[in-house]
């Protein structure tokens, strides 16, 4: 029977270890499940013969906490966790969140802000010479100079601020094994400059070949246009087959320093994916957390299956292109069915597989045959602004996988929660998947992400035009009617994205009015590191075209845009009224059927109230006016 990796000296002694090869420091609690990067990297190293100890959420205020497992033989591995620590801690309005789903009991405050930097500085204060390798989402998306929303400034590469020696970006399986083997072979960490999927620093470029020079950090701080240009170059070099080596200069008073990003690692083959997800995970949180109620995040993934990685969807607000890349990587049916069987053996399993997917559930194939050997096209997207003529839109493989999982004993239903791309579904000439989706994989409501209805905003988002979504709505409704099912669509919508003026926000409110739907929650655009949309937010430029983009950055305007989506909520009345007036849409304040809100006080510029029917009392008229949305 397997066991969790050591989290204490006692655990090490029980295994007969005097020293770990690597100590993995994580901002998350220790969950030994393949949905957590810590588990994947540590188990993969274990499979290659390395001894890995887990130091989860050490007390960053206490230098002694970093000594819990002793000095590792080869180095420290450091990750902020499954989320960027700042996203984990703060809402888009920069208010402190109350709960950390990746901490035992959901307790907030068990990791520091900018966790990677803080943990590395803590290690360096105790162990001066031990190699430090950083990775995970926080390091990956901050690997070069980046706009930091929470401090509202352009920050240096996290490699410099953390004092780490090497950065492994992306998912990291290939690069971390190569790094470990190089260190084990006796190479000094400063000599490890040749591994794809890594970033290192150097004071001269004599040994660096075939690279593209990015603008200097000091230049980018002074000129936002220079940063937009740099980010455009980075975006064009995220492909493992065509991506160039990038060099970012940092000017000092006495010397120059360079951060060098090697090309991305090659995608995992299906066999490699199967091997990674077939490692001996315990599939749960460490037993020491039980007294605190466990780790809340486990509930979301306990009965879900990861079938794919990568996304060619091109959403501007998503960092997947920078982290997992555009080339789809998949597990075999056999691997997923075997894991599905393990889910059914869990005593807590109730018959429902909650998800079978990845970044986009219905992507199970590369966008085209060319990507398998030559990579993705530079300067072009597979689905945006419309599907490429070479796109192979085919759901047959995904349908067969779902059919096999549905057929497993004890399985009552298989859901698809990670989301589908409706434009990709429509690009498939065969509607068998839509039929199966509606018949077997929806339970009353299907969540989809049109994000907006204005083509201007959708263009900034890298999303298909609104007419594509409307076509999907019609076909979804028609299919459900044909199947005799009453099922609905729940659209995810985003406010305040670059490109959205108050006028565009009003269009979205009018759409919701006509739909008769008011979302309970609103997703306000969140400028997280290394997305095209964040670059737009900071620079006011689209790095893809270098053209100007309207950006709602004023907190009050953002509040108005958000309120328009929930215009029926009485507490949003003043904001909605102000927004409509500023947008020149006073015609939407009144009692007409197309109005969003009634007037609170009679205003010559707003619509006149309807005549009071005879026999109606004054107080009845007054009450009628107070009902929002009538």
Residue where a domain terminates, one of 378, 407, 441: 441
**Residue with the two structure tokens 């459900």:** 480
Statement to judge: residues 420 and 476 lie in one domain: no
**1 pLDDT above the threshold of 90:** no
Q: Which stretch of DSSP H or E encloses residue 542? A: strand 541-542
Say if 206 falls within a structural domain: no
Alpha-carbon distance 21 to 49, whole Å?
10
Is the pTM higher than 0.75? The answer reads yes
Residue 429 or 617, more confident: 429
Beta bridge partners of 155: 146
Alpha-carbon distance 525 to 536, whole Å?
12
State the pLDDT confidence band at 253, using cuts at 50, 70 and 90.
low
Q: What is the pLDDT of residue 254?
A: 67
CB–CB of 282/32 below 8 Å? yes
Tens digits of per-residue pLDDT, 525-534?
999 999 999 9
Statement to judge: residues 369 and 463 lie in one domain: no
Q: What is the pLDDT of residue 321?
A: 87
Q: Is the dihedral of CA 270, 273, 279, 282 positive or negative?
A: negative
State the pLDDT confidence band at 619, using cuts at 50, 70 and 90.
very low
Tens digits of per-residue pLDDT, 75-125?
999 999 999 999 999 999 999 999 999 999 999 999 999 999 999 999 999
Q: Is the peptide bond before 590 cis (omega within 30 degrees of 0)?
A: no
Alpha-carbon distance 581 to 590, whole Å?
12
Statement to judge: residues 36 and 115 lie in one domain: yes
Tens digits of per-residue pLDDT, 332-364?
999 999 999 999 999 999 999 999 999 999 999
Instruction: Give phi and psi for 349, each to the nearest 5.
Output: -70, 130
* Structure tokens, 147: 């706009």
Statement to judge: residues 471 and 348 lie in one domain: no
CB–CB of 36/4 below 8 Å? no
Say if 405 falls within a structural domain: yes
**625 pLDDT above the threshold of 50:** no
CATH number at residue 369: 3.30.750.210
State the pLDDT confidence band at 603, using cuts at 50, 70 and 90.
low
Segment 405-412 shows an average pLDDT of 98
* Nearest C-alpha neighbor of 471 from the set 420, 416, 423: 423
Q: What is the pLDDT of residue 37?
A: 97
Q: What is the pLDDT of residue 605?
A: 55
State the pLDDT confidence band at 518, using cuts at 50, 70 and 90.
confident
**425 pLDDT above the threshold of 90:** yes
Buried/exposed code over 317-349 (b: 16+ C-beta within 10 A; e: otherwise): bbbbbbbbbbbbbbbebebbeebbeebeeeeee
Statement to judge: residues 384 and 511 lie in one domain: no
CATH number at residue 557: 3.30.750.200
Percent helix, strand and coil across the chain, each to the nearest 5: 35, 15, 50
Q: What is the pLDDT of residue 521?
A: 77
CATH number at residue 80: 3.40.50.2300
Tell me 589's DSSP state: B
User: Could you give the angle at the alpha carbon of 36 between the alpha carbons of 32 and 39, nearest 5°?
Assistant: 45
Instruction: Quote the mean pLDDT of the chain.
Output: 94
Buried/exposed code over 142-164 (b: 16+ C-beta within 10 A; e: otherwise): bbbbbbbbeeeebbbbbbbbbeb
Tens digits of per-residue pLDDT, 558-598?
999 999 999 999 999 999 999 999 999 999 999 999 999 99
* Nearest C-alpha neighbor of 124 from the set 18, 254, 25, 21: 25
Tens digits of per-residue pLDDT, 285-322?
999 999 999 999 999 999 999 999 999 998 999 999 89
Say if 262 falls within a structural domain: no
**620 pLDDT above the threshold of 50:** no
Q: What is the pLDDT of residue 600?
A: 84
State the pLDDT confidence band at 519, using cuts at 50, 70 and 90.
confident
Say if 137 falls within a structural domain: yes
Q: What is the pLDDT of residue 159?
A: 98
CB–CB of 579/505 below 8 Å? yes
Q: Number of structural domains, the chain? A: 3
Contacts 24+ apart (CB under 8 A), 558-563: 558/495, 558/496, 558/524, 560/502, 560/505, 561/495, 561/496, 561/500, 561/502, 561/505, 561/524, 562/495, 562/496, 562/522, 562/524
Say if 289 falls within a structural domain: no
CB–CB of 150/86 below 8 Å? yes
State the pLDDT confidence band at 449, using cuts at 50, 70 and 90.
very high
Q: What is the pLDDT of residue 298?
A: 97
Which segment of 15-19, 216-220, 357-361, 625-629 scores lowest on mean pLDDT?
625-629
Tens digits of per-residue pLDDT, 265-277?
999 999 999 999 9
Segment 396-406 shows an average pLDDT of 98
Statement to judge: residues 395 and 523 lie in one domain: no
Statement to judge: residues 320 and 433 lie in one domain: yes
Q: What is the pLDDT of residue 570?
A: 94
Say if 389 falls within a structural domain: yes
Q: What percent of the chain has pLDDT over 90?
A: 91
Cα-to-chain-centroid distance, residue 59? 27
Statement to judge: residues 414 and 494 lie in one domain: no
* Nearest C-alpha neighbor of 499 from the set 521, 518, 525: 525
CB–CB of 590/625 below 8 Å? no
Residue where a domain terminates, one of 417, 441, 465: 441
Instruction: Count Cβ atoms below 10 Å from residue 617 Cβ, excluding itself.
Output: 9
Say if 294 falls within a structural domain: no
Which CA distances in Å does 484 have to 81, 422, 438, 479? 45, 21, 10, 9
Tell me 533's DSSP state: H
**67 pLDDT above the threshold of 80:** yes
Segment 409-422 shows an average pLDDT of 95
Statement to judge: residues 470 and 601 lie in one domain: yes
Contacts 24+ apart (CB under 8 A), 383-390: 383/312, 383/313, 383/314, 383/421, 383/423, 383/424, 383/427, 383/464, 384/313, 384/314, 384/462, 384/463, 384/464, 385/459, 385/464, 385/465, 386/464, 387/423, 387/424, 387/427
State the pLDDT confidence band at 626, using cuts at 50, 70 and 90.
very low
Longest dimension (CA), the chain: 95
Residue 379 or 149, more confident: 149
Beta bridge partners of 54: 24
Alpha-carbon distance 475 to 303, whole Å?
30
DSSP 214-242: PPPHHHHHH-HHHHHHHHHHHHTT--TTT
* Nearest C-alpha neighbor of 362 from the set 295, 454, 436, 252: 436
Report the SS3 class of residue 494: strand
Tens digits of per-residue pLDDT, 605-615?
544 444 444 44
Q: What is the pLDDT of residue 616?
A: 43
Statement to judge: residues 182 and 108 lie in one domain: yes
Beta bridge partners of 200: 260
CB–CB of 323/137 below 8 Å? yes
Say if 564 falls within a structural domain: yes
User: Could you give the angle at the alpha carbon of 497 between the alpha carbons of 495 and 501, nearest 5°?
Assistant: 80
**Residue with the two structure tokens 């995904």:** 398
Q: What's the distance, Cα to Cα, between the start and end of the chain in Å?
A: 64
Q: What domain range includes position 38? A: 9-201
The backbone region for 106, taken as left when phi is positive above 0, alpha when psi lies in -120 to 50, beta otherwise, is: left
Report the SS3 class of residue 379: coil
Statement to judge: residues 364 and 377 lie in one domain: yes
Statement to judge: residues 80 and 136 lie in one domain: yes
Residue where a domain terminates, one of 411, 441, 471: 441
Tens digits of per-residue pLDDT, 225-238?
999 999 999 999 99
* Nearest C-alpha neighbor of 292 from the set 111, 68, 103, 30: 103
Q: What is the pLDDT of residue 539?
A: 98
């Amino acid at each position: 029977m397997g066991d969790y990796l050591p989290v204490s000296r006692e655990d090490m002694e029980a295994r007969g270890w005097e020293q770990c090869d690597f100590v993995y420091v994580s901002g998350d609690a220790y969950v030994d499940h393949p949905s957590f990067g810590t588990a994947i990297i540590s188990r993969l190293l274990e499979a290659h013969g390395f001894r890995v100890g887990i130091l989860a959420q050490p007390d960053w205020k206490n230098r002694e906490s970093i000594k819990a497992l002793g000095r590792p033989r080869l180095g420290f591995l450091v990750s902020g966790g499954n989320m960027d620590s700042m996203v984990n801690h703060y809402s888009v309005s920069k208010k402190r969140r109350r709960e950390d789903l990746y901490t035992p009991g959901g307790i907030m405050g068990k990791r520091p802000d900018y966790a990677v930097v803080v943990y590395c500085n803590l290690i360096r204060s105790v162990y001066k010479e031990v190699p430090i390798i950083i990775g995970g989402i926080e390091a990956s998306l901050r690997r070069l100079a980046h706009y930091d929303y929470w401090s509202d400034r352009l920050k240096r590469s996290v490699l410099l601020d953390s004092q780490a020696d090497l950065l492994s970006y992306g998912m990291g399986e290939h690069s971390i094994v190569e790094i470990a083997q190089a260190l084990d072979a006796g190479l000094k960490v400063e000599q490890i400059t040749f591994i794809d999927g890594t970033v290192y620093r150097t004071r001269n470029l004599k040994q660096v070949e075939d690279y593209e020079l990015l603008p200097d950090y000091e230049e980018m701080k002074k000129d936002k246009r220079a940063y937009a240009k740099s980010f455009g170059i980075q975006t064009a070099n995220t492909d493992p087959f065509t991506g160039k080596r990038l060099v970012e200069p940092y000017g000092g008073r006495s010397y120059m320093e360079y951060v060098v990003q090697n090309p991305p690692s090659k995608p995992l083959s299906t066999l490699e994916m199967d091997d990674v997800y077939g490692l001996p995970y315990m599939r749960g949180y460490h037993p020491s957390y039980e007294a605190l109620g466990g780790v809340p995040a486990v509930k979301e993934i306990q009965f879900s299956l990861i079938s794919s990685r990568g996304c060619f969807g091109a959403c501007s607000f998503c960092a997947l292109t920078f982290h997992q890349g555009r080339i789809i990587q998949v597990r075999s049916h056999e691997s997923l069915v075997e894991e599905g069987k393990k889910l059914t053996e869990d005593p807590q399993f109730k018959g429902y597989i909650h998800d079978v997917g990845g970044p986009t559930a219905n992507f199970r194939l590369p966008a085209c045959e060319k990507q398998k050997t030559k990579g993705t096209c530079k300067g072009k997207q597979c689905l945006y602004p419309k599907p490429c003529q070479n796109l192979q839109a085919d759901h047959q493989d995904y349908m067969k996988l779902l059919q096999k999982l549905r057929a497993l004993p004890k399985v009552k239903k298989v859901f698809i929660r990670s989301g589908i791309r409706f434009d990709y579904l429509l690009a498939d000439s065969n509607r068998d998947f839509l039929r199966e989706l509606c018949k077997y994989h929806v339970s009353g409501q299907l969540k989809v992400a049109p994000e907006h209805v204005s083509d201007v905003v959708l263009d900034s988002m890298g999303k298909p035009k609104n007419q594509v979504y409307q076509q999907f709505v019609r076909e979804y409704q028609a299919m459900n009617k044909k199947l005799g099912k009453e099922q609905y669509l729940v659209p995810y919508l985003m406010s305040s994205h670059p490109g959205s003026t108050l006028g565009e926000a009003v269009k979205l409110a009018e759409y919701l009015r006509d739909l008769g739907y008011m979302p309970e929650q609103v997703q306000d655009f969140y400028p997280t590191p290394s997305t095209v949309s964040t670059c737009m937010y900071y620079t006011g430029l689209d790095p893809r075209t270098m053209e100007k983009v309207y950006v709602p950055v004023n907190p009050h305007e953002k509040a108005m845009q958000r309120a328009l989506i929930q215009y029926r909520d009485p507490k949003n009345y003043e904001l909605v009224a102000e927004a409509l007036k500023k947008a020149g849409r006073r015609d939407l304040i009144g009692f007409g059927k197309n109005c969003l809100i009634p007037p609170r006080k009679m205003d010559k510029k707003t619509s006149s109230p309807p005549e009071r029917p005879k026999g109606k009392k004054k107080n009845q008229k007054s009450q009628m006016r107070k009902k929002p949305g009538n």
